[in-house]
Structure 1
């Protein structure tokens, strides 16, 4: 098929002071074997050498470096400028793997009703070595309510679908991608591609690891906006995140572990009431299990004493 017959794909990279990673990101885009690409980089005014790196590639990409209102705003600027029939955003510390764009375009062409596609991804360390596989699953909306199994850099969307849902929610700073999948999936089921498409970098300074508690609060509030309640799994996840980031429990020690479980039980109950104004039977069963474990532990100590 001639290049002119292939749909234009626009890749958008939001960036801010990621000079140590961005060249690898850029090169992963240019190493794709798909011939009809538009590449846009929206830098938030970096002062770490990012702009010098981008200038090296200015004959192959378009970029601007100016203050913005954060990652979500930068992505939207890119999506609004994009000319592509298909759009994607690749963060400035992530990379595409060979053949990613071709695989995504093929899947969208074979599934004309799908608003987006996604595939398998690897978590990588700061130095780029592989940590593990992202826990990706074939699409299920009920599962999407419980966990974000879609690896962001593996996603490619129809620009018409992104426009139809009103672009990225700029009020979100941690789960803007998860929210995007939720809203796009209301237009039709996303298509899962069983192929490694990208890497997602995890390190202490990025949002996923460095600001875990804030991220889980935002996810919970976002589900409350969508559903009027927060799914069970996300309430428990928020309780874990609050406890594990605010207090240091050594759960190999029986006393610390008991304190953690008792705190988790109480905090989870409070969060269910705060968000959902009720504790459902299945949630109550889990809380009773934890409470029962504590009671049994105390009883065992009394018998031994």
Structure 2
């Protein structure tokens, strides 16, 4: 790839891939936030993943400003992969069709790549908004995330600090690490960041440059599982630790065990509030293998047993 030069402000093309599915209500907001970027050498690729609403009609007036691709519904990974394959930019960014970019996002992020021509990947801070003017401040600070630049494999294992809408990636990276794993129905982005972080230095821009829309049912929304299985995030982490045994040595065992515990607890919490007490109990119990000193989990295990007993009595009385 041609080297970045500080005085060639718009020499390098940046492709923004926008996957969408039945999101005519918000996609124009996302699109306008890209069109109005201060950095102008951009390519906008919208991949419509089988929408049946008015998305295609809504985008008609932008047909001269975007590359529009329609495909049968295959999921967000397939949509992003299609966008990567048809894009032509030196760098690639992603924006879900219900989210928005800050107007200087591309310009500010590209700046750190110009300052360090060897840098292939960068990410930024983000914020959450509810569709109006109620923007939260820093998502990273609010959640005490350990966001840094450099070789951050350990940081990414211990917390998903990289959000898809914040990344900027040189095209050549995908040639090396591959595309998004279409077999994953959740965590496909996390899997990608672990692949990248295990091989590349990553740059961090500590500014809120992307905004995630709270509460909207987007293309990345997943239905909870109805049967017990190892949480996908645990499977992903285990896979990458097995592939990177030398890097695994950098991770404190106590922190790693708590990290592996959390997806089990989250799954148990979700099932508990759905009234699936037996399934919830199994998740809480499995999580205790990693963090047996978490007293709150024992409380929920007891609550699940009680809830399951009461449910059985209700069924017998009917």
TM-score normalised by length of structure 1 = 0.78
CA distance in 2, matches of 1:191, 1:31: 24
> Paired residue for 2:170?
158
Confirm or deny that 1:19 pairs with 2:31.
no
| Alignment deviations for residues 38-91 of structure 1 (CA, whole Å, 9 cap, x no partner) | 111110121221101111100111102221421101111111111111001111
The one of 254, 257, 263 equivalent to 1:232 is: 257
Contact kept in structure 2, 1:168 and 1:176, CA below 8 Å: yes
Task: Extract unaligned runs of 5+ from structure 1.
Answer: 251-258, 273-278, 295-305
Q: CA deviation at 1:232?
A: 2.2
Paired residues, number: 274
Could you list the per-position Cα deviations for residues 232-260 of structure 1 after superposition, in whole angstroms to 9, with x for gaps in the alignment?
A: 2343222222222112399xxxxxxxx9x
Q: Which residue of 2 aligns with 1:138?
A: 148
Q: Which runs of 5+ in 2 are unaligned?
A: 1-6, 243-247, 302-318
Counterpart of 1:300 in structure 2 is none
User: What pairs with 1:1-305 in structure 2 (closer than 5 Å)?
Assistant: 1=7, 6-127=11-132, 129-131=134-136, 133-135=138-140, 136=145, 137-139=147-149, 140-203=152-215, 205-206=217-218, 211=223, 217-228=231-242, 231-248=256-273, 267-271=283-287, 279=289, 283-284=291-292, 286-287=293-294
Deviation of the 1:2 alpha carbon: 5.6
Distance in 1, matches of 2:225 and 2:131, equals 21
Other structure's SS at 2:59 match: helix
Q: State the distance in 1 between where 2:123 and 2:173 align.
A: 15
Determine if contact 1:119/1:194 at 8 Å carries over to the other structure.
yes
State the distance in 2 between where 1:150 and 1:64 align: 27
Q: Is the 8 A contact 1:116 1:158 kept in 2?
A: yes
Whether the 8 Å contact between 2:131 and 2:214 is mirrored in structure 1 is yes
CA contact under 8 A between 1:97 and 1:199: conserved in structure 2? Answer: yes
SS at match of 1:19: coil
How many Å apart are 1:141 and its aligned residue? 2.4
State the Cα RMSD in Å.
Answer: 3.3
**SS in structure 2 of the partner of residue 69 of structure 1:** coil
Q: Deviations over 1:181-209 (max 9, x none)?
A: 11111222210002221101221634777
Structure 2 CA distance for aligned equivalents of residues 168 and 57 of structure 1:
27
Query: For residues 270 and 107 of structure 1, do their structure 2 counterparts lie closer, same or farther at Cα, with a shift above 3 Å needed?
Result: same
* Conserved 8 A contact 1:204-1:210: no
Give the Cα–Cα distance (whole angstroms) in 1 for the partners of residues 96 and 272 of structure 2: 31
Q: Quote the Cα distance in structure 1 between the aligned partners of 2:184 and 2:28.
A: 27
**Alpha carbons 2:264, 2:286 under 8 Å: kept:** no
- In structure 2, the residue corresponding to 1:238 is in which secondary structure? helix
How far apart are residue 148 of structure 1 and its match? 0.6
Cα shift at 1:101:
0.3
Q: 1:123 to 1:183 in 2, by over 3 A?
A: same
**Alpha-carbon distance change, 209 to 134 in structure 1, aligned in 2, over 3 angstroms:** farther
Q: 1:171 to 1:128 in 2, by over 3 A?
A: farther
Which residue of structure 2 aligns with residue 256 of structure 1? none
Higher helix share: 1
- Relative to the length of structure 2, the TM-score reads 0.75
Q: Distance in 2 between matches of 1:213 and 1:132?
A: 32
